Amino acid sequence: MSDLPEDTLQESIVHQRKALMGLLREPMRRLADDCARVWGNRQELDKALAATLERLPYCKHLYVVDNRYVQISDNVAHGGLLEGYGRDRSARPYVQGVAPGAALMLSDAYISLKERRPSLTALQVVRDDTGKVLGYIGAYFGLRDLPLTRTLYVEPRHWRQIKGDPSIRGTVFHQNRSDSDMDRQIDTVLGVVTELMLYHGIFHVMLHFSSSRAVIWLFSDPYRYRMLDIAALIDPDTCLAYPRQPYPADALIPAERLRAVLDNFRALRLMDEMFYLRSGTVNIFNGIVGLTFSCDGSHYIPYEEFLAMDTDFWVGAGQGGR
């Protein structure tokens, strides 16, 4: 189990933005003072930008705009000067978020016009000796180049429901489940899958009941998935194709509870002719169970909560109870 803090995705992003602001604040403040002293001199502005850029190796380029956001310097990159003088940047997304009174602002990520990739722009205000705003220094970054620690975001373990295609949900009462090959041999399938997960290193499985197939991941080879068709899923000899592996000690789902999770898939698949499980996913390391129903709605639930629910709850959920 990971010891990392369980921040939300947005909290993780906020931490990274704070780290970047900490790296930029002092060099951008000094650059603003340098630019104020040579304001209006294109060549001298370029020189000031180039000197600071040497201390910002992760920045793609720097430039200066006046208080109408028209560029009055070149784009100063590590390889030299790039075209940009005279460009009107007033309509760009990083300009729309300029906050009055702020010295340094960091935009939300956006897709750049030329490179078409996720990017950020920092804007540093430049003032004269009286405090009047002369303009701004722009610092352009590609997200992939930023020197952040990027502590791994940890997926929180709480129930999440995601609504699917409304056109499918609207027809759920006009459909009936057809027995698939997996439905007809479901006990054998679940027996084979349980054996693979407990003793042969399968840590993540997606069971597609309607199409009678499974997709599996092994912790000895996690970067590749493997697909098992119904012939493999009903043949216990399939286990011979995967080396014996002990059940991992850091799995969140205890070995003795795994079969109960899979048996609940069986119950949800067969619980109702109109509202039924289309696919089920289980990951033993994060302890999350994924469910997609005939109404196209999906749920992601900690296995403990999943095992505490009966089919009556899910039939009610399918009819609008949740």
Q: How far apart are CA 35 and CA 30, in angstroms?
A: 9
* pLDDT (tens digit per residue) in 50-67: 999 998 888 999 999 999
- For residue 14, what pLDDT band results from cuts at 50, 70 and 90? confident
Query: Quick count: other Cβ atoms within 10 Å of Cβ 237?
Result: 8
* Long-range interactions of 59-62: CB distance < 8 A, separation 24+: 59/139, 59/140, 59/141, 60/140, 60/141, 60/142, 60/145, 61/140, 62/31, 62/137, 62/138, 62/139, 62/140
Q: Which CATH number fits domain 9-145: 1.10.10.410, 3.30.450.20, 3.40.50.970, 3.40.47.10?
A: 3.30.450.20
* pLDDT (tens digit per residue) in 252-310: 999 999 999 999 999 998 887 777 899 999 999 999 999 988 876 788 999 999 998 87
Highest-pLDDT range among 154-168, 216-230, 263-277:
216-230
List phi, psi (to 5°) of 134. Answer: -85, -40
**Cα–Cα nearest to 113, from 83, 80, 135, 156:** 83
**Cα–Cα nearest to 287, from 254, 243, 245, 314:** 254
Beta strands in the chain (DSSP E): 61-66, 75-77, 80-82, 104-106, 110-111, 118-127, 133-142, 160-162, 202-208, 213-218, 221-229, 277-283, 288-293, 298-302
Per the structure block, which two tokens stand in for 318? Answer: 């399918």
Helix, strand or coil for residue 200? strand
In percent, the amount of the chain with pLDDT more than 70 equals 84
> Using DSSP, how many helices (H) and how many strands (E) does the chain show?
10, 14
Domain positions in the chain:
9-145, 160-321
- For residue 198, what pLDDT band results from cuts at 50, 70 and 90? very high
Q: Is the pLDDT of residue 215 over 90?
A: yes
* pLDDT (tens digit per residue) in 77-128: 999 999 999 999 998 888 887 777 789 998 888 888 887 888 889 999 999 9
Rounded to an integer, the average pLDDT of 198-203 is 96
pLDDT of residue 69: 93
Helix, strand or coil for residue 266? helix
Asked if 272 and 318 touch (Cβ cutoff 8 Å), the reply is yes
Maximum Cα interatomic distance, the chain, rounded to a whole number of Å: 82
Q: How far apart are CA 267 and CA 316, in angstroms?
A: 15
Q: Comparing 24-38, 159-173, 186-200, 231-245, which segment has the lowest mean pLDDT? A: 159-173
What is the reported pTM? 0.64
Query: Could you tell me how far CA 54 lies from the centroid of its own chain?
Result: 32
Q: Is the pLDDT of residue 322 over 50?
A: no
> Looking at the chain, how many residues does it have?
322
